[in-house]
């Protein structure tokens, strides 16, 4: 992927890339919107959740180009209404892995999540991404339905993934981003490059 500033507008929403100085604002957002953490981990965000999100790196065996954190702002709102993180060129060039994507609970059902994700996807495509990848916890029904509506398909499931006080099953989802390309062939090309996501026999 190209070194493109992570910023975009999508309707009344605007995305900006976050830096270390934004960690306190991220913590305030997470504290005010703990629903995701209760859903996947049966506990509230940790007091240093934002710091840990910024400090956490992929395991050594997982290659990548860079980690980015982003905030979503809305017209007329002083505080962030969304937060997320992504990994560029995960394992293979052109793979954009969405690590976290949270929209303020009070704004659920208003289309903000879809608007914010579409803006992010358009940015990733312009930056040279060919695939968007993410994991969603089995049983997080809101999340599972949302990502299916965005056009993601399941590649495989990973078992024994810890989150908070729970051990979860994770659905590994993928969406090809290349315009005009045949979807199934793009998925097969991805699996040829990223062996860890191939379905188990």
pLDDT in tens, 154-163: 999 999 999 9
Query: Looking at the domain 8-195, which fold is it?
Result: Aminopeptidase (3.40.630)
Distance (Å, whole) CA 59 – CA 158: 16
Tell me how crowded residue 108 is: count the other CB atoms within 10 A of its CB.
14
Q: Give, as one character, the DSSP assignment of residue 192.
A: H
Domain ranges of the chain: 8-195
CB 42 within 8 A of CB 62: no
Residue in this structure with the two tokens 């599972």, named with its chain if needed: 144
Distance (Å, whole) CA 75 – CA 102: 18
Beta bridge partners, 156, equal 172
**φ, ψ of residue 13 in degrees (nearest 5):** -100, 150
- Please, what are the averages of pLDDT over each run of 10 residues along the chain (201 residues)? 94 97 98 96 96 94 95 94 97 97 95 97 96 97 96 96 93 93 93 94 74
CB 145 within 8 A of CB 114: no
């Amino acid at each position: 992927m190209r070194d493109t500033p992570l910023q975009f507008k999508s309707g009344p929403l605007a995305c900006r890339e976050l830096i270390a100085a934004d960690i306190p604002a991220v913590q305030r957002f997470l504290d005010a919107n703990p629903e995701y953490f209760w859903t996947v981990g049966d506990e509230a965000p940790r007091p240093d959740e934002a710091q840990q999100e910024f400090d956490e790196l992929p395991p050594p065996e997982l290659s990548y180009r860079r980690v980015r954190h982003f905030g979503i702002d809305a017209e007329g709102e002083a505080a962030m209404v969304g937060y997320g993180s992504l990994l560029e060129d995960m394992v293979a060039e052109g793979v954009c892995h969405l690590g976290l994507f949270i929209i303020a609970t009070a704004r659920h059902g208003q289309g903000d999540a879809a608007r914010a994700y579409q803006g992010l996807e358009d940015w990733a495509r312009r930056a040279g991404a060919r695939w968007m990848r993410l994991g969603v916890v089995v049983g997080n029904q809101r999340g599972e339905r949302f990502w299916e509506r965005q056009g993601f398909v399941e590649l495989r499931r990973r078992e024994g993934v810890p989150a908070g006080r729970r051990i979860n099953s994770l659905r590994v989802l993928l969406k090809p981003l290349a315009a005009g390309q045949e979807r199934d062939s793009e998925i097969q090309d991805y699996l040829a490059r990223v062996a860890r996501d191939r379905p188990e026999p």
